[in-house]
């Protein structure tokens, strides 16, 4: 695709200097994009973190006859870097992990999640990506979207086929398949785009009748049950005459409390002969309280602007980027608030066929360690545990959030509903990602296949509710091969879920956005039934807890994609010999392996914990190491220590047979010839099956 940078002004002026600053990589504040992304450190309504504009990436959703379904990845001035094919054609947004959310109406209404979009040149793939579509979704013509990051919601402006079928549709961002929305509201006018102010729980909606709807307390107020906006803003001129015709793009700037909106005017030649030149941009001050007829503090329109159908906009804190569809352009208006020119030429103009939407991604997305790899000393906000006393029991499937001191149960959640009743299944291991999304394996015994629940924000927000397929999803079915899955590990850097399946004696790898009856991307058979796994992302090494008392090690796991036996077997040099390894943690900062041995499942006193040092240097000749730390004995309360979690210093243990979550502080420090140490803290829980930790979400 031809891309040509055009000079907006030949003469040097302060405006050209502003453009120079844009091209030179000045530090900007990113407050929002087309739907007010809430990346860590810059939640809606608060000042965002400074970013260098040379580090940002822009994603452009196309909707032309030859490029609908494609997304172009560009740099800050729209130089093309890659093209992928997510397959939808409307509004785009990003989550902090770098996954692209894209609405579409090429066929049935759809919302797709395209994993790890940066650098991808491939098409949508059900193994790694997922889609919300089908009659139950009610999606007809979804256009702009916005994410409510803390709550884990996707808010969709569905233009519909008429007023009755249009409205605001909300899903949990982890939903998938043909599922109903959490809510759909007809709001009295047909919406095209949305922007969400997360700090103040306020939604701004671009209506195609030329007005802007404002919904206060949108999420907390049950998604505007009456349907009507709290306030309606109509852009007017100095004579109080309405300026706007057909608002499409909308942005909220939390730093200056302003709305930026784009007006396409006539959408096509049938609506007006000047459809390719009648577009406008409005900047409206005091967004949080503005109501009624409001005169914008700046209007951009006229023959020099190249604005005809500015269908979407994105603002980085200084520069406004525009998807100009009628004129097949991507535009940048630099220093939006510093200039007051109405008929202003864009500072950057690049050819792009039928651009429909765009979103800006800062240089930094979540690249920190997974919650199972908290190397060094870490602050912990929550301890999350599952209960598994057996099918049909009162707490079966319960996932609880505890405080780190193990003195308080903060929230409880039931991973069950009518489709997955506790009479049929039991939750096994739970892990959470940095956003608090839970991934929980479940076992249905002889009544059906096992699987993985993906539970929206269970580690941060959910309390007192149950599995809800409008915001959660389930990976299960014959194609998954899951029979009795136990421990799992999340590997965000590889976009993967690794599952130890006891029933098939395998380790199964799935995409982190997998959904439904989907095949694994890799199946590994270690030769001994596995119970748990822990992946070391620094060295591409997988450690496997094996139920014969040994530990399997796969070197270069993702590089080699092994299907058979481990490269090495570690056998702890202990007396009596280790019997049944369950929990496993690799401490990369200290090159130490921490494992739990449940001994006999029927014995509530024979559990043990071993710390094995210098793991990376173990060879075939030295793979029988004496643990540097051993914890065992009556004082420990260890009987069946089925799972472990480590914050870099302190070890948390799910002790199932004795009904406790235990914490052993400074676990790597050996006590003088006495392994029979009492836990530093504990809390009673019914048959805890797993334990995992969540660090602060604001410190990715």
For the chain, give every domain's residue range: 14-361, 382-694
Q: How far apart are CA 350 and CA 673, in angstroms?
A: 72
Q: What is the pLDDT of residues 371-393, one digit of tens each?
A: 777 766 678 999 999 999 988 88
Give the residue among 531, 481, 536, 528 at the shortest CA–CA distance from 509.
Answer: 481
Q: What is the pLDDT of residues 436-474, one digit of tens each?
A: 999 999 998 766 789 999 999 999 999 999 999 999 999
Using CA atoms of 347, 352, 354, 358 in order, give the dihedral in degrees to the nearest 10.
-60
Give the residue among 417, 413, 419 at the shortest CA–CA distance from 437.
Answer: 413
pLDDT for 643 equals 98
Q: Considering the chain, what percentage of its residues have pLDDT values greater than 70?
A: 88
Question: How many CA atoms lie less than 13 Å away from 237 in the CB half-sphere?
Answer: 10
Q: Which residue has the tokens 């999420």?
A: 219
| Weakest mean pLDDT among 255-264, 362-371, 610-619 | 362-371
Mean pLDDT of all residues in 180-189: 97
Q: What is the pLDDT of residues 259-274, one digit of tens each?
A: 999 999 998 888 989 9
pLDDT for 366 equals 55
Q: How far apart are CA 409 and CA 400, in angstroms?
A: 7
Give the residue among 526, 639, 535 at the shortest CA–CA distance from 593.
Answer: 535
Q: How far apart are CA 492 and CA 143, in angstroms?
A: 29
Give the residue among 338, 334, 330, 333 at the shortest CA–CA distance from 359.
Answer: 330
Q: Where are the beta strands (DSSP E) in 264-408?
A: 280-284, 292-294, 298-300, 310-315, 320-324, 329-333, 348-351, 355-361, 382-387, 398-402
Could you tell me the pLDDT band of residue 128, with boundaries at 50, 70 and 90?
Answer: very high
Could you tell me the strand order of the sheet in which 581-587 lies? 581-587, 592-597, 608-613, 629-632
Q: How many helices (H) and strands (E) does the chain have?
A: 2, 51
pLDDT for 368 equals 59
How many other CB atoms are there within 10 angstroms of residue 337's CB atom?
17
Q: Do domains 14-361 and 382-694 have the same CATH topology?
A: yes
Output DSSP code: residue 516: B
pLDDT for 448 equals 74
**The two structure tokens encoding residue 458:** 């269970």
**The two structure tokens encoding residue 27:** 């530090």
pLDDT for 10 equals 29
Could you tell me the pLDDT band of residue 86, with boundaries at 50, 70 and 90?
Answer: very high
pLDDT for 9 equals 29
Q: Which residue has the tokens 């210093």?
A: 649
Q: How far apart are CA 619 and CA 600, in angstroms?
A: 29
Q: How far apart are CA 152 and CA 172, in angstroms?
A: 6
SS3 104: strand
List helix spans (H) across 326-431.
Answer: none
In DSSP terms, 542 is beta-bridged to: 535, 554
CATH number of 14-361: 2.120.10.30
Pick the CATH number of 382-694 from 2.120.10.30, 3.40.50.1460, 3.40.50.1220, 3.30.1300.10: 2.120.10.30
How many other CB atoms are there within 10 angstroms of residue 694's CB atom?
24
Name the residue with higher pLDDT: 368 or 122. 122
């Amino acid at each position: 695709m031809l891309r040509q940078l055009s000079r907006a002004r030949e003469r040097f002026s302060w405006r050209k200097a502003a453009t120079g600053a844009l091209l030179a990589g000045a530090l900007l504040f990113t407050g929002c994009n087309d739907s007010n992304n809430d990346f860590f450190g810059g939640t809606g309504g608060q000042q965002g973190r400074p970013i260098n504009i040379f580090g940002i990436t822009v994603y452009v959703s196309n909707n032309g006859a030859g490029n609908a379904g494609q997304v172009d990845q560009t740099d800050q001035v729209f130089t093309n870097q890659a093209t992928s094919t997510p397959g939808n054609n409307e509004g785009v947004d990003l989550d902090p992990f770098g996954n692209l959310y894209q609405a579409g109406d090429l066929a049935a209404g759809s919302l797709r999640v395209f994993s790890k979009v940066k650098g991808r040149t491939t098409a949508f793939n059900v193994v790694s990506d997922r889609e919300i579509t089908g009659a139950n979704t009610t999606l007809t013509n979804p256009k702009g979207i916005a994410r409510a990051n803390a709550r884990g919601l996707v808010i969709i402006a569905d233009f519909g086929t008429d007023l009755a079928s249009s409205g605001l549709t909300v899903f949990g961002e982890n939903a998938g398949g043909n599922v109903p929305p959490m809510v759909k509201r007809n709001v009295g006018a047909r919406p095209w785009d949305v922007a969400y102010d997360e700090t103040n729980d306020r939604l701004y909606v671009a209506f195609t009748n030329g007005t802007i709807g404002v919904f206060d307390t949108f999420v907390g107020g049950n998604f505007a049950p009456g349907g009507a906006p709290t306030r309606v803003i109509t852009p007017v001129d100095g004579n109080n005459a309405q300026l706007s015709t057909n608002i499409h793009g909308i942005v909220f700037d939390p730093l200056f409390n302003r709305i930026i909106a784009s007006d396409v005017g006539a959408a096509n030649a049938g609506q007006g002969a000047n459809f390719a030149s009648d577009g406008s941009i409005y900047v409206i001050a005091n967004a949080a309280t503005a109501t009624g007829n409001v005169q914008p503090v700046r209007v951009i329109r006229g023959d020099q602007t190249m604005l005809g159908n500015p269908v979407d906009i994105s603002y980085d804190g200084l520069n406004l980027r525009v998807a100009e569809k009628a004129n097949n352009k991507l535009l940048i208006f630099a220093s939006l608030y510093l200039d007051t020119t109405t008929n202003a030429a864009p500072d950057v103009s690049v050819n792009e066929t039928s651009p429909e939407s765009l979103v800006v991604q800062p240089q930094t997305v979540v690249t920190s360690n997974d919650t199972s790899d908290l190397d060094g000393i870490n602050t912990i906000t929550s301890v999350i545990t599952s209960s598994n006393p057996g099918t049909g029991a009162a707490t079966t499937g319960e996932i609880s959030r505890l405080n780190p001191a193990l003195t308080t149960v903060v929230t409880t959640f039931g991973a069950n509903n009518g489709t997955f009743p506790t009479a049929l299944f039991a939750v096994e291991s739970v892990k959470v990602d940095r956003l608090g999304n839970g991934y929980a394996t479940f076992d249905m015994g002889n009544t059906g296949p096992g699987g993985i629940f993906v539970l929206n924000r269970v580690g941060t927000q959910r309390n007192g509710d149950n599995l809800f397929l409008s915001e959660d999803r389930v990976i299960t079915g014959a194609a998954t091969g899951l029979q009795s899955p136990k421990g799992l590990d999340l590997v965000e850097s590889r976009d993967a879920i690794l599952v130890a399946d006891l029933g098939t004696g395998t380790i199964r790898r799935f995409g982190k956005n997998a959904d439904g009856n989907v095949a694994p991307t890799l199946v590994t058979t270690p030769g001994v039934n596995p119970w748990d796994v822990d992946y070391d992302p620094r060295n591409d090494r997988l450690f496997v807890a094996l139920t014969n008392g040994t530990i399997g090690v796969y070197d270069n796991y993702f590089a080699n994609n092994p299907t058979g036996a481990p490269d090495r077997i570690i056998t702890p040099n202990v007396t009596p010999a280790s019997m049944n390894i369950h929990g496993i943690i690799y401490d990369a900062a200290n090159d130490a392996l921490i494992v739990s041995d449940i001994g006999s499942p029927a014995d509530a006193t024979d559990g043990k914990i071993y710390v094995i040092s210098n793991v990376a240097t173990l060879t075939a000749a030295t793979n029988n190491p004496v643990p540097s730390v051993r914890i065992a004995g009556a004082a420990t309360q260890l009987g069946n220590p089925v799972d472990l979690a480590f914050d870099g210093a302190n070890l948390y243990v799910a002790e199932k047979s004795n009904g406790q979550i235990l914490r052993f502080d400074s676990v790597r420090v050996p006590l003088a010839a006495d392994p029979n140490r009492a836990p530093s803290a504990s809390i009673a829980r019914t048959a805890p099956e797993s334990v995992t930790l969540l660090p602060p979400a604001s410190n990715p």
